[in-house]
Amino acid sequence: MNTALLERVHEFQWRRKPTGAMQVPVVIFATESLVREMDDKVLEQASNVAMLPGIVGASFVMPDGHWGYGFPIGGVAAFEPGGVVSAGGVGFDISCGVRCVATGVKSERVRAVQERLADLLFERVPVGVGVEGKIRLDDAEMDAMLRGGASWAVGRRWGRPEDLGRIEEGGRVDGAVPDAVSERAQERQRKLMGTLGSGNHYLEVQRVSHVFDEPAARAFGLEVDDVVISIHCGSRGMGHQIGTDYLREMERSAPQHGIKLPDRELACAPLRSDLGKRYMGAMRAAINCALANRQIIMHLARGIFADVLPDADLKLVYDVSHNTCKEEEHVVGGKKRTLFVHRKGATRAFGPGHRELPREFADAGQPVLIGGSMGTESWVLAGTHEGMDRSFGSACHGAGRKMSRNAAAKLWKGRDVIQTLARQGISIRAVGIRGVAEEAPGAYKDVSVVVDAAHDAGLARKVARLEPMICIKG
């Protein structure tokens, strides 16, 4: 990215002043090296977002920012109730997120059974493009799932009631409208519950290698050498279809709402319009779908660990989504306001004392789960008071790609990647060899650099570093 268009606010924050139709500035949280690594398209997209009606504060880019559809991935923007909602500002994989699960065992126990555990996880957790699970949803169960989220799954004995307290919004979001979800979107999801999918989705068994914040780690239930599971996936075919359906309708209807789109991929609708309300209802249903999906996958993992390590006790640390638009209260200019916060490839990161957090996290802040690329570390951070003020309680969600999947597949061979990681003690199980090449660690930015930037910018603070032991990929 050309930094000549930016002014440096401080070491970890950059700003582009509003020009032309921009209503607010662009603010990028990153080191100079991370900014220079970003494609110029990131600044162009963030500047276009700053032109949308009703945007408040700034168009933000997180340290892992890279080019996306409409919004940059790592983009955050909040809108007043009289503003707009953009399907491109949420993304196609609605509520893709990360669930971190403590296992109650140390790494030595897992090392002794690592290959068998990897085999069983790959065998029993459905993974890959178009893979189907064992659950079948009729119309009544589809409706119940879309309204109930993880609560619905727990009610069907795919989990424990205590799991729900460790999921954002208690495992279900209000305001889901199943009727706003097209027949095609529902049909695509009927056989996909409890499936991991493909691409950058994964299930990893990880070891806590280092703790940076002892009090927060204790609150989260983490100690050095603990083994945890991270599950990264979303709303599968349903979320993609909802995004496709509503982007088309929003683009067609923009002129009648008096909206001039700086980019057709930023198709949007007024929040108070019928279309805006229908999209919010469908999107919330997809959020519940994703929360239910990760709940079921965790249930499957519980059964597998019980078979291999009977003394393991899988307890949820936290589950938080990215790719959402949430109605939230934030302080702007000294006044509390209701805003609709779009996070596209960015995670919620509420600070200590926030009313939506479990009591045990009151002093620590919300767990912020940052996924690494295959074979590299992941992180647990905690939300901060500063982040609430600086980015509407938002942080990065991962490393961020630095090259396309096609470019990665030309540069690496999947079998070589698997063998290299095996020499590092990391067991890879994947459906396709090309998919491994596409997700090679080198195809992503250095996640530790991204996390350091988020920490130093005050968006979230480092709590624990997680090293991979087993990675299940589609």
Report the phi/psi class of residue 142: left, alpha or beta, with left for phi > 0 and alpha for psi in -120 to 50: alpha
Is residue 408 assigned to a domain?
no
Rounded-to-integer distance, Cα 251 and Cα 205, Å? 42
What is the mean pLDDT, run by run of 10 residues, along the chain of 474 residues?
A: 93 97 98 94 98 98 95 98 97 97 98 98 94 96 98 98 96 98 98 93 97 98 98 96 97 95 96 98 98 98 98 98 97 96 97 95 97 92 98 95 88 92 95 88 91 98 98 91
Identify residue 44 by its one-letter amino acid code.
E
Element (H, E) at 338: strand 335-344
Is residue 419 assigned to a domain?
no
- CA dihedral angle for residue 121, residue 122, residue 124, residue 125, rounded to 10 degrees: 90
Is residue 421 assigned to a domain?
no
* pLDDT at position 164: 98
Counted domains in the chain? 1
Which two three-digit tokens encode residue 196? 């991991």
Is residue 412 assigned to a domain?
no
Hey, is 394 helix, strand or coil?
A: strand
Rounded-to-integer distance, Cα 308 and Cα 303, Å? 9
Burial of 172 (0-12, 13-18, 19+ CB in 10 A): buried
* pLDDT at position 474: 80
Rounded-to-integer distance, Cα 60 and Cα 4, Å? 18
Rounded-to-integer distance, Cα 469 and Cα 145, Å? 33
Length of the chain: 474
What single-letter DSSP state applies at residue 5? G
The interaxial angle of helices 139-155 and 274-308, nearest 10 deg, is 50
Rounded-to-integer distance, Cα 425 and Cα 131, Å? 28
Burial of 328 (0-12, 13-18, 19+ CB in 10 A): middle
* pLDDT at position 393: 98
Hey, is 292 helix, strand or coil?
A: helix
Burial of 282 (0-12, 13-18, 19+ CB in 10 A): buried
Report the phi/psi class of residue 221: left, alpha or beta, with left for phi > 0 and alpha for psi in -120 to 50: left
* pLDDT at position 129: 87
CATH at residue 188:
3.90.1860.10
The closest alpha carbon to 285, from 383, 167, 142, 400, belongs to 142
Rounded-to-integer distance, Cα 189 and Cα 97, Å? 17
Count of Cβ atoms closer than 10 Å to residue 433 Cβ = 15
380: domain range?
A: 3-402+444-473
Is residue 56 assigned to a domain?
yes
Q: Is residue 249 a contact partner of residue 261, using CB atoms and an 8 Å limit?
A: no
Which two three-digit tokens encode residue 70? 């409409």
* pLDDT at position 83: 98
Which two three-digit tokens encode residue 391? 């980015």
Q: How far is CA 8 from CA 16, 57, 215, 388, 467, in A?
A: 9, 18, 34, 21, 34
Is residue 367 assigned to a domain?
yes
Rounded-to-integer distance, Cα 62 and Cα 76, Å? 8
List active site positions: 397
The interaxial angle of helices 274-308 and 236-253, nearest 10 deg, is 170
Is residue 389 assigned to a domain?
yes
Question: Is the Cα dihedral 76, 78, 79, 85 positive or negative?
Answer: positive
* pLDDT at position 330: 97
Is residue 417 assigned to a domain?
no
* pLDDT at position 401: 83
Count of Cβ atoms closer than 10 Å to residue 65 Cβ = 34
- Which regions of 67-150 does DSSP assign to beta strands (E)? 73-79, 84-86, 97-106
Q: Report the Cα–Cα distance between both ends of the chain, in Å, rounded.
A: 32
